[in-house]
Structures are given as C-alpha cells and as structure tokens.
Structure 1
Amino acid sequence: MGVERTWILLLLPPALLILFIWRVRSFYVFPSLDPVPESLASRLFFTVSRASYFLLILLLLLLAAGIQFSGGERLQYGYGADIIFLLDESRSMRDPFNALPATEEAKAEKETSKFHAAKSAIHRFMETRKTGHDRYGLIAFGSSAVKILPLTMNHELFLSCLHAQDCVLASTFLYFPMASGIDELMRSRSRSRVLVLVSDGGGPLDDDKYGFSNIVKQHGIRFYWVSLGTDWLNELPRFLERIGPLGRRMDVSNVPELEKGFEEIHRMERSLIIYRSSSPGVSSGPVVYSALLLMTVTWLSHSLFVYRRKASEP
C-alpha cells in the first residue's frame, strides 16, 4: 500500500480530536432533559448517522491522501532472448537484391534496397515476438561501428532508432561491430544470447588476433549471419566453422528469403524463461467514492425518516 500525499494523513488526528470535543460538548447543552423514548429503527439510524461523522472525515482525508493498494506478483512462463543486431550501413546496402548498381528509381523507392528490406524484416521479426520478453540492441557499422542502442526492453525506442538509420558509411569492417556486440552480450545474464549480423559484404575480422570464436563458445552466444551479398574478402565462413553449432549462415537473394530467414531465427530462439508479473496498483479512489455515496444515502434515509415521523405527529 502506498500514499501519494503522506502529509495529508497528519491532519487526521487533529480532525478527529476536534470532532470528538465538539460531540462531547453537545451533550451538555440541555443537561436537564430526559431521553425521549425512540423506536429501534430510529435508534439504529441515529447511531449510523453519528458514526458517519467520523467516517466522513476519515474517508475524505484518505481520498485526499491518494492511498493506493499495491498489486501482487505471480510467476509466469514465457520465452525471451537478448538479441543484438549488427546492421551494415555501407553504401552498397542501397543497392537492390539483383547485384546491379541501384538506379535512380531504386534510390527513390527505398523498398527496393537491401537496407530498407533488412529494416522491414527486423521490424516484422519483432512484431512476431511481441508476446515474448526480448531485449534488443542495435549496432550500425561500416568502416567503423556505432552502438546505436544497448540492450533494452523498450521496443518502441528500438524501432525508432532502427527506422532512423541510413546508409552513410563506407566499406565493411567486421571486427568493430563484432567486438562491441560480444562485449554487450558478455554482460547479459539471459539464458539465450543472440548476435544477428545483417550485411551484404565482408571484411577483416581478425579472429586469430582477437579470439572472437573462443569468446562466443565460452559464453554460449549464438551467431546468425544473414548474408545479402558475397564472400568477397570475408573471413566469416572460417569463423562459422570454428564456432560449430553456435553459428548459422543464411544466404539471402530476395525479400521472401530474407523474411524466411528471420522466421527461422524466431523458431530457434524460443528459450523458456520464468519471470515475475506484477499486477498494477489499485487506487483507493473508487472505494472511497462508493463509501461516500453509501453515507449520503444513509443520511438522506435518516432525514426522510425523521421528517415523516414528525409529519405524522399531531
């Protein structure tokens, strides 16, 4: 249970004390009068109306304080993974899938470029897994690498960063994004850690120097290479051989194959996880309003009862 405005509750003791003193003094206004006999129903309404004075002040203060009842927690089962996308932003990604230089029309219509198709495929991949509990990260690279977004559960933020990317870099160097992505996943505690490389070319990886394959095997990081181009100057085939079953290559030559490749990643990355689900807090407002409504009805009933009783007297 939480309180939005704690200081208002400090007014409760003085308010009840003032009301109590006022009620005590009221008994001495006519000390010589004997109690007038009343019926059981009248005494009942009288008692309820007097008690409602205290309840009214109490409920009004609780309403003003904004008391909220915290929700409970429960264990649930689902799937989820920590997935980092290494997105090639070299200028060659502007080309369509037909391996010919992009025409002016293709540049104007981004849906024909490999880069736009890759962003759309990643978006649909996330939509497919929207019921899961994934964290996504994004690293853009060309001749250098830029960590656009670390692992996050904010999927809307990830999509905003993804759609804001464009092909503005030159060349394709792999060791920068590979080092950045592996470093991010090494700090992850998820059972399923995934690195997805989307590129139409290749370049230096220097696995012999940096030992990426050994780190991947040591931490159980799965690697998917979504290849949109050729193996020219590419060291990735040898890297995949070293990591064995942790690596997978997907050769893509058109948009349907690209969609199929991401669907396969979705099917393979569905590790079972157990997580705690918190129920949202419940505000005391509706309860207090209902109590005030009940008190109002009680007062009106009591007043009507007294009025009819007096009206029936000669």
Structure 2
Amino acid sequence: MRLDFAQPWMLLLLPLALLPLLRRRSDTLDFPSLAWLPPDRIGRVAGFLWRGFAVAAMASIVLGLAGPGQSGAQVQRTGRGAEILILMDRSSSMDATVHTNGLPMAGRMSQEPKAKVVRDLLSDFVARRPDNRFAFMTFSTVPIAVVPFTQKTDTVQAALAASAIGRGLPETRMGVALLAAIEEFEHRSYSGSRVILIVSDGGAQLDEATRRSVHAGLAREKIGLYWIYVRSGPNSPNLNTETATAYGLGEELALHQFFKTLSTPYRLYQVDDSNAMAAAMAEIDRQQNFPLILHERVPRRDHGGAFYLAAMLCCAGLLACRALQLQSWRTSP
C-alpha cells in the first residue's frame, strides 16, 4: 500500500529540521589549553542525542502536518462462500399466489404472492452469508442488472426490497437473462466458486444459438447453476418425474432438459410452498461454503497521529538529555 500526503506542500518545511545541527556562537568556548580538562563523555553523548532528538522532533511535526496516509487501499482476506448472482423472475406470474384444487396450499405461499415469499427468503439467505459476493438481476421481457458484484449485503437487501415496486410484464425471456447473467462474470478474476441462482416459476424454449452460447459461457466462466423452480399449482409440470424428451413439451421441462446437458454443475430445486423453498435455500447455503479470496477496499487511513506521537517522544528525549547535562555539570569537579 502506497503512502501519500493530504497536504504535500507542507513538506517544503522539512529542511527546517536541520536547524539543530547548525552551531551557535554560544556553543563555542575559548580556552588557552584543553589538556587539563577531563573528558566529558556523558556531555558528548547528551549533545549528540540532543541534536538527534531535535531533528527527529521537527521532522516528525512537519510530516504530521503534511497529512500522511494510505488511500484507495485494498486488503486481501480469505472467507468462505461463493460469488452468487441472483437471477430473479419478475414476470406477472410471480405476483400470483399458489392454489391447489381451488384451495390455498398449506404454508405461507397460500396467503402471499410468490414474489414476496421469494424476496423474504432471499433476504435471509443474503444475511447469512456476509463473506459472499452477490450480484442481483431481475428479468421478464428484458434483464435488468440491479446490483453488480459487491460484498455490501445492505446494498443487495435494498435491491431485493426495491423489486417489490410495480408489477411484472407477462413475458419471460429466460435465454436473454441467462446470457446477461453470464456476462456479469466476464473480466473478473476467478477467486472461488461461482453460481447463478435462478428463481422462477417458468421456463423457456431456447433456440439452438442461445443454447450453445449459454453452454459455452457457463463452461468458460466456470459457473454452476441452481434453479429454484416455483410451481404454480397442480397443473404445473413436475420436473422430477418427467422423462420424455424436451422438444414438444412445456417450456419448464425443455429448460430443465437443456440444463441437464451442461458441462458445469446444475441442480434443480422444485418447490411448492414456502417451507420447501426455505429448505432449498438452506441446502444451497450448506453446499456453497468453499474458500473464497476477498479483496476489500478500505477507506483512507491517516497516519499523522503516529508522527505526532514520535515528535512527543523526541521532545521527552530532549528533556531527558537536558536533565543528563545538568546532572553532569553538578557532579563535575
């Protein structure tokens, strides 16, 4: 970390610290002969220390006035967790509640919109992982990068809360959103596990070009994929039991079948209520707990106090030297 000065012009006063080295007329005494004088070793040591302390005291004061410090520094530390990009579906279907046979399902999702339950659980997930780097992106018709990768979890929490404003659009363009999420990892140094966490109640039929781009991007950036699939009711496909081929079937199954062909890790969490989603988030929390290199930018640190303390110690040394000289004069014959 580089040392800088808040007021570098004060360094022009630094040559004043050499003043104690200049001899004064009162320092010179005339003697016809020095052979009869006893050697004053204590006085010589005290004189040398006096000048050294005086120079150091003045130099320390000038350096302290110049405002030394370290600005824009980065501190590297090691934590546990991952780089997680939350890709949250904000289509209009996420504003609906879940019903089964005309009756609300057991659990919190029966009384509240899916989007609100998702936000609350994601908020708890972020709060439990202070060492992680999070990014937050929403999508419906177009993806919106709300928060770039950051270690400031309060920023992510504010973004999650802000996603409750307004209503989503009816269209869900998963392919464009995935490509935008992968781009967030580009040009970043690899420092630990990388994950895209998709939270959505729908899928997509991706064209061949998009499938190739997603497949290549995830492999190139070494990104794992988690999909929390929020079922909308009994008519939603059960992705854990379907075994048919993807094409010609629903968008959710088509997307799931494509994700299973990825060369990077993929995991599906199919949830029907808030309890199931909470369990899914807890499992992801346990799995993504690897060593992670963190670079934290710290605010400017001012070191002026250390120089002022050094000046005070030097002044104390000057007093000690003066006391030593007086003691030497009193004990001399």
Within 5 Å, which residues of 2 pair with 1:133-152? 134-152=132-150
Matched-pair contact (CA < 8 Å) for 1:97–1:228: no
In the alignment, structure 1 segments of 5+ residues that lack a partner are none
CA distance, structure 1, for counterparts of residue 139 and residue 60 of structure 2: 60
- Is 2:269 the counterpart of 1:253? no
Q: Match for residue 89 of structure 2?
A: 88
Structure with bigger RCO (C-alpha 8 Å, 6+ apart): 2
Q: Match for residue 314 of structure 2?
A: 295
Q: Match for residue 11 of structure 2?
A: 9
CA distance, structure 2, for counterparts of residue 78 and residue 308 of structure 1: 59
CA deviation string 1:23-56 (max 9, x = no partner) = 344445x656988879665555444334332222
Superposed displacement of residue 9, structure 1: 2.5
CA distance, structure 1, for counterparts of residue 278 and residue 294 of structure 2: 30
- Is 2:183 the counterpart of 1:183? yes
Within 5 Å, which residues of 2 pair with 1:16-31? 16-21=17-22, 23-27=23-27, 31=30
CA distance, structure 2, for counterparts of residue 63 and residue 207 of structure 1: 65
* Alpha-carbon distance change, 156 to 291 in structure 1, aligned in 2, over 3 angstroms: same
Structure 2 letter corresponding to 1:123? S
Q: Match for residue 115 of structure 1?
A: 115
Superposed displacement of residue 80, structure 1: 4.2
Q: Residue 184 of structure 2 aligns to a residue in which SS?
A: helix
Within 5 Å, which residues of 2 pair with 1:164-175? 164-166=162-164, 167-173=166-172, 174-175=174-175
Q: Residue 140 of structure 1 aligns to a residue in which SS?
A: strand
* Aligned-CA RMSD value: 4.2
What is the TM-score with the length of structure 1 in the denominator? 0.73
* Alpha-carbon distance change, 310 to 101 in structure 1, aligned in 2, over 3 angstroms: farther
Q: Could you tell me which of 223, 228, 231 is aligned with 1:229?
A: 231
Q: Residue 211 of structure 1 aligns to a residue in which SS?
A: helix
CA distance, structure 1, for counterparts of residue 217 and residue 51 of structure 2: 74
Structure 2 letter corresponding to 1:53? A
Higher helix share: 1
* Alpha-carbon distance change, 55 to 181 in structure 1, aligned in 2, over 3 angstroms: closer
Q: Match for residue 64 of structure 1?
A: 65
What is the TM-score with the length of structure 2 in the denominator? 0.70
Q: Residue 260 of structure 1 aligns to a residue in which SS?
A: helix
* Alpha-carbon distance change, 16 to 135 in structure 1, aligned in 2, over 3 angstroms: closer
In the alignment, structure 2 segments of 5+ residues that lack a partner are 238-248
**How many residue pairs get matched?**
299
Identity of paired residues, percent? Answer: 21
Q: Match for residue 197 of structure 1?
A: 198
* Alpha-carbon distance change, 26 to 82 in structure 1, aligned in 2, over 3 angstroms: same
Q: Residue 148 of structure 2 aligns to a residue in which SS?
A: strand
Superposed displacement of residue 264, structure 1: 1.6
Q: Match for residue 244 of structure 2?
A: none
CA distance, structure 1, for counterparts of residue 70 and residue 33 of structure 2: 47
Superposed displacement of residue 224, structure 1: 1.7
Matched-pair contact (CA < 8 Å) for 1:216–1:222: no
CA distance, structure 2, for counterparts of residue 55 and residue 181 of structure 1: 57
CA distance, structure 2, for counterparts of residue 57 and residue 227 of structure 1: 69
* Alpha-carbon distance change, 308 to 175 in structure 1, aligned in 2, over 3 angstroms: closer
Q: Match for residue 155 of structure 2?
A: 157
